[in-house]
C-alpha cells in the first residue's frame, strides 16, 4: 500500500517525556515529506502550540488541533475546518463545572482560557519562554467561566477538566455523556476533554483527507491515548505507540516502539520510506 497522509499525535507520541522531537523522528518526517507524503500533526493542543513543534521539524505540515475541531496549514491564514462549541454545549459544560467545582480550562485556536494563570511548569508556560511571539499561546483569565462564551463567541473549541481522582473522572464523564450533545474523551489519566458532538481526531482526519482527495486506506494514524482511538480506527493503518494505553493497542493494526525511542520515526521508516 502506498500511503499519502500520516497523522501524528503529539504528547506521548511525537514528543518524548522532555517534550522534544527526536532527531530520528525529524529525519523520518522530512524524508516522508520529500517523498510527497502529507504530514498532519493531530493533537488535543491549541493550534499555536502544535505549530511551534511543526516549525521545529522544519517542514511544511498541516495541523489538526483541539481534537479535530480546528484544521489549518502551518503559516497559512486560511482555516480549512472549524467546529466550535455552541452555546447550549458550552452551558452544559459550565453546569458540570459548577456541580463538581472542577478545575476547567477552555481554549480557542490560540488562547488558553482559565480562572488563573497556570503554574510555571505548565507546558504552554514553558514553551512560551522560547517560542517566537506569533507561536506563543495567549492566556485569558476569567473568574466567571459563564462569561467566556460571549467574549469568545464562535471561537471556543474545547474544554479540558482536571478532576481530583480517577473515580471522579469516571463520574463526571458519565454525567457529560448523559447530558448529550458532547464528545467526551481523555488525553491522559488525569483529564477529561470535551468538544462538540461529532468532533474528534477521527472526524478531523476524515474531513482533512476528503479535502485532499485522499482515501481512507491511504492514511496512517499514530497515537498513544484514548483521544487517538477514533483516528487510529479510521485510518487504513492505525498504529499504537509502545507506551499507548491498552484500549488503543486493542484497536491498532500495528504497535511501534515507544515515544522515548522514536516510535514515530521507526513506523514511518517501516511503512513509508
Domains of the chain by residue range: 5-82+200-271, 87-196
Q: What is the CATH number of domain 5-82+200-271?
A: 3.40.50.1000
Q: Write down the pTM of the prediction.
A: 0.93
> Average pLDDT of the chain?
95
**Confidence (pLDDT) at 55:** 86
DSSP per-residue string spanning the chain: ----EEEE-TBTTTB-TTS-B-HHHHHHHHHHHHTT-EEEEE-SS-HHHHHHHHHHHTS--EEEETTTTEEEETT---EEEE----HHHHHHHHHHHHHHT-EEEEE-SSEEEESSPPPTTSHHHHHHTTS-GGGSPEEEE-S-GGGHHHHTTTT--EEEEE-SSHHHHHHHHHHHHHH-SEEEE-SSTT-EEEEETT-SHHHHHHHHHHHHT--GGGEEEEE-SGGGHHHHHHSSEEEE-TT--HHHHHH-SEE---GGGTHHHHHHHHHT-
Which one is predicted more confidently, 38 or 123?
A: 38
Residue 75: per-residue pLDDT: 67
- Lowest-pLDDT range of 90-104, 114-128, 187-201: 114-128
Across 122-126, 171-175, 187-191, 239-243, least confident range: 122-126
CA nearest to 97, candidates 179, 182, 161, 192:
161
> Beta strand pairing status for 111-114 and 103-107?
antiparallel
Express each pLDDT in 49-99 by its tens digit: 999 888 888 888 999 999 999 999 876 778 999 999 999 999 999 999 999
Average pLDDT of the segment spanning 98-114: 96
Residue whose C-alpha cell reads 488563573 in the numeric block: 116
Provide the residue count of the chain. 273
pLDDT recorded at residue 56: 85
pLDDT higher for 175 or 123?
A: 175
| Averaged pLDDT for residues 161-184 | 97
For 193-233, the pLDDT digits (tens) are 999 999 999 999 999 999 999 999 999 999 999 999 999 99
Is residue 130 very low, low, confident or very high in pLDDT (cuts 50, 70, 90)?
A: confident
Lateral strand order in the sheet of 192-196? 138-141, 111-114, 103-107, 158-162, 192-196, 182-185
Q: Is the pLDDT of residue 127 over 80?
A: yes
Q: How confident is the model at residue 102 (pLDDT cuts 50, 70, 90)?
A: very high
The confidence score (pLDDT) of residue 73 equals: 84
Is residue 100's pLDDT more than 80? yes
| Of 250, 218, 224, nearest in space to 237 by CA | 218
64 forms beta bridges with 42, 71
Q: Can you give the pLDDT at residue 118? A: 84
Please tell me if the domain spanning 5-82+200-271 has the same topology as the one spanning 87-196.
no
Q: What is the pLDDT at residue 39?
A: 96
Domain 87-196 CATH class label: alpha beta
Q: What is the predicted pLDDT for the residue at 134?
A: 87
Amino acid at each position: 500500500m502506498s500511503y499519502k497522509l500520516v497523522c501524528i499525535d503529539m504528547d506521548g507520541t511525537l514528543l518524548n517525556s522532555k517534550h522534544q522531537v527526536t532527531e530520528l523522528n525529524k529525519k523520518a518526517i522530512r524524508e516522508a515529506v520529500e517523498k510527497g507524503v502529507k504530514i498532519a500533526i493531530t493533537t488535543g493542543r491549541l493550534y499555536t502550540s502544535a505549530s511551534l513543534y511543526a516549525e521545529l521539524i522544519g517542514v511544511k505540515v498541516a495541523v489538526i488541533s483541539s481534537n479535530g475541531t480546528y484544521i489549518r496549514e502551518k503559516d497559512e491564514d486560511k482555516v480549512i475546518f472549524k467546529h466550535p462549541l455552541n452555546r447550549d454545549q458550552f452551558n452544559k459544560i459550565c453546569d458540570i463545572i459548577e456541580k463538581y467545582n472542577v478545575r476547567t480550562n477552555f481554549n480557542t485556536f490560540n488562547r488558553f482560557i482559565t480562572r488563573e494563570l497556570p503554574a510555571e511548569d505548565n507546558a504552554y508556560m514553558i514553551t512560551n519562554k522560547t517560542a517566537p511571539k506569533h507561536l506563543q499561546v495567549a492566556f485569558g483569565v476569567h473568574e466567571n467561566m459563564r462569561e467566556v462564551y460571549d467574549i469568545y463567541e464562535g471561537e471556543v473549541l474545547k474544554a479540558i477538566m482536571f478532576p481530583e481522582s480517577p473515580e471522579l473522572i469516571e463520574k463526571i464523564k458519565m454525567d457529560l455523556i448523559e447530558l448529550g450533545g458532547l464528545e467526551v474523551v481523555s488525553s491522559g489519566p488525569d483529564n477529561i476533554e470535551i468538544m462538540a458532538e461529532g468532533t474528534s481526531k477521527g472526524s478531523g482526519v476524515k474531513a482533512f483527507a476528503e479535502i485532499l482527495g485522499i482515501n481512507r486506506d491511504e492514511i496512517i494514524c499514530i497515537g498513544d491515548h484514548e483521544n487517538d482511538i477514533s483516528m487510529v480506527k479510521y485510518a487504513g493503518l492505525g498504529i499504537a505507540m509502545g507506551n499507548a494505553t491498552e484500549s488503543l493497542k486493542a484497536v491498532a493494526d500495528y504497535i511501534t516502539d515507544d515515544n522515548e525511542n522514536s516510535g514515530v520515526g521507526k513506523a514511518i521508516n517501516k511503512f513509508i520510506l
